[in-house]
Amino acid sequence: MSVKINTLEFENVKRIKALALEPSPNGLTVIGGRNNQGKTSVLDAICWALGGEKYRPSQAQREGALLPPTLKVTLSNGIVVERKGKNSALKVTDPNGNKSGQQLLNSFLEPLALDLPQFMNSSNKDKANTLLRIIGVGDKLDELERTEKEMYDKRHAIGQIADQKAKYAKEMVSYEGVPEIPISASDLIAQQQAILARNGENQRKRQLKAQYDYELEQARQALDEAKRRYAQAQANAQTAAKSAEDLVDESTAELEKNIADIDTINTKVRANLDKMKAEEEAKGYREQYDALTVQIEDVRKEKFDLLNNADLPLRGLSVADGELTFEGQKWDNMSGSQQLRVATAIVRKLNPECGFVLLDKLEQMDTDTLKEFGQWLESEGLQAIATRVSLGEECSIIIEDGYAAGENAIPVPASPEPEVITQPWNTGKF
């Protein structure tokens, strides 16, 4: 069961003349009043009573008071805390009536609950670290963030290379209508030799015809004696002439040209191959980049799960880029009341034994928001003692000129001493 404040009794502390208050054990107790009436002095007095010497106000005794300050706070665990006498010495009495000291108070006090602005004004990173410390995932998250950063940097470098490679590949020349691999001269030469061989055969046939022509001539000359041979030779000559007529020589001109063009073509082929290689390289880097993107997303999800599965002080709290967020908003984007709720929830978790928190200057909340905040505090079983420049119904007590002036004010046991100095700000003009 966390410790709450049951009653407060203060006299002659800072602006307070005499005041007693029984704050609500759960939810909001608003100390209202105009400016400079002693509202914040009440919170200062609580801090001093419970927090110890380091919270002693520089001018603790009320100016003009004849008697030194007296403070008495009773707590829900039965402990009574008092400061009185010339030196405002601390007296802590436990429920059994034993004397005790500051150490006992410190065991269930959360310093930030006394000084919420200290948390609220800390850096965004510090707030996030406080949260991570509470939920106990700081180390794991650090590790994930380190991994994420490493992958991010690597992906960035690879992305730059991929871009450069793609740009380089784009700038390289390429040619249409050339083979995909360099061509070889030996094929063409073999083809040429085959044609030359066939042409040689043709040449041989031509020579045969010439021979028959010669023999015909011879036979003609010996016509009489070789009529039969002449007829035969004539037939032969006719046949040979006929087959020679149909002969057509193939051209090697194109092959010759191709052989001559080999170097030019191969230069182009190699250019195309180089470009293809460059494109493949660029594609490879792009694929690595995409793979890293997937990995980074995985790490981010792991981070998200880590925080979301943790026992958070408040639903909607998270950490992004090392900064505290609430419902996706960073601190400077939260409304004043959201900031208060976040701060209160976190501070409460820092020391669950401390069941109260002090909140100065709640003017930033309208009455609806205030009510909602009060309900939230109640649902959390938290006691908050707050101040607010207001005389409205939301106030549990109104302070005027260092005295309680409200229906809920408890009669102060000690009688207030007469006013010695008239202070100009107590005339109600401000």
Ligand X SMILES: Nc1ncnc2c1ncn2[C@@H]1O[C@H](COP(=O)(O)OP(=O)(O)O)[C@@H](O)[C@H]1O
Q: How far is the CB of 57 from ligand X (least distance, A)?
A: 7
C-beta of residue 5 within 8 angstroms of C-beta of residue 367: no
Kindly indicate which of the ranges 57-65, 169-177, 234-242, 323-331 contains the residues binding ligand X, using the contact rule CB under 6 A: 57-65
Count the Cβ atoms, other than its own, within 10 Å of residue 364. 13
Q: How far is the CB of 40 from ligand X (least distance, A)?
A: 3
DSSP 34: S
Residues in 371-410 that interact with ligand X by CB under 6 A: 387
C-beta of residue 3 within 8 angstroms of C-beta of residue 355: yes
Name the binder of 36 from Mg ion, ligand X, none, CB < 5-8 A by kind: ligand X
Kindly indicate which of the ranges 37-45, 123-131, 235-243, 300-308 contains the residues binding Mg ion, using the contact rule CB under 5 A: 37-45
# residues contacting Mg ion (CB under 5 A)? 2
Q: Which of 374, 384, 372 is nearest to 116 (CA)?
A: 384
Alpha carbons 328 and 342: distance in angstroms, whole number? 13
C-beta of residue 179 within 8 angstroms of C-beta of residue 281: no
Residue 30 or 169 having the CB closest to ligand X:
30
Among 2, 6, 7, 40, binds Mg ion (CB under 5 A): 40
C-beta of residue 348 within 8 angstroms of C-beta of residue 322: no
Does the protein bind ligand X through residue 63 (CB under 6 A)? Answer: yes
Does the protein bind ligand X through residue 70 (CB under 6 A)? Answer: no
Residue 247: burial class (beta carbons within 10 Å; 0-12, 13-18, 19+): exposed
Alpha carbons 363 and 385: distance in angstroms, whole number? 14
Residue 214 or 425 having the CB closest to Mg ion:
425
Provide the residue type at 183 as one letter: I
Q: How far is the CB of 332 from ligand X (least distance, A)?
A: 26
Kindly indicate which of the ranges 34-42, 85-93, 168-176, 253-261 contains the residues binding Mg ion, using the contact rule CB under 5 A: 34-42
Residue 315 or 429 having the CB closest to ligand X:
429
Among 4, 24, 30, 62, binds ligand X (CB under 6 A): 62
Name the binder of 415 from Mg ion, ligand X, none, CB < 5-8 A by kind: none
Residue 65 or 169 having the CB closest to ligand X:
65
Kindly indicate which of the ranges 32-40, 263-271, 289-297, 369-377 contains the residues binding Mg ion, using the contact rule CB under 5 A: 32-40
C-beta of residue 347 within 8 angstroms of C-beta of residue 341: no
Name the binder of 111 from ligand X, Mg ion, none, CB < 5-8 A by kind: none
Alpha carbons 382 and 355: distance in angstroms, whole number? 6
Q: How far is the CB of 426 from ligand X (least distance, A)?
A: 9
Q: How far is the CB of 58 from ligand X (least distance, A)?
A: 8
What is the phi-psi region of residue 52: left when phi exceeds 0, alpha when psi lies from -120 to 50, beta otherwise?
A: left
Burial 329-354, CB ≥16 within 10 A → b, else e: eebeebeebbbbbbbbbbbbbbbeeb
x/- map, 4-43, ligand X, by CB under 6 A: ----------xx-----------------x-xxxxxxx--
Alpha carbons 289 and 56: distance in angstroms, whole number? 60
- Between CA 297 and CA 308, with CA 303 as vertex, the angle to 5 degrees is 125
Provide the residue type at 38 as one letter: G
Q: How far is the CB of 105 from ligand X (least distance, A)?
A: 23
Residue 43 or 350 having the CB closest to ligand X:
43
Q: How far is the CB of 121 from ligand X (least distance, A)?
A: 18
Burial 391-408, CB ≥16 within 10 A → b, else e: eeebbbbbbbbbbbebee
Q: How far is the CB of 385 from Mg ion (least distance, A)?
A: 13
Does the protein bind Mg ion through residue 36 (CB under 5 A)? Answer: no
Bridge partner residues of 5 (DSSP): 75
Q: How far is the CB of 48 from Mg ion (least distance, A)?
A: 16
Alpha carbons 136 and 349: distance in angstroms, whole number? 12
Q: How far is CA 71 from the centre of its chain?
A: 49
**Total H helices, total E strands in the chain:** 11, 14
Q: How far is the CB of 361 from Mg ion (least distance, A)?
A: 6
Residues in 285-344 that interact with ligand X by CB under 6 A: none
Name residue, tokens 């919170």: 43
Residue 36 or 76 having the CB closest to ligand X:
36
User: Which residues of this chain interact with Mg ion, rule CB under 5 A?
Assistant: 39-40
User: Which residues of this chain interact with ligand X, rule CB under 6 A?
Assistant: 14-15, 33, 35-41, 59, 62-63, 387, 425
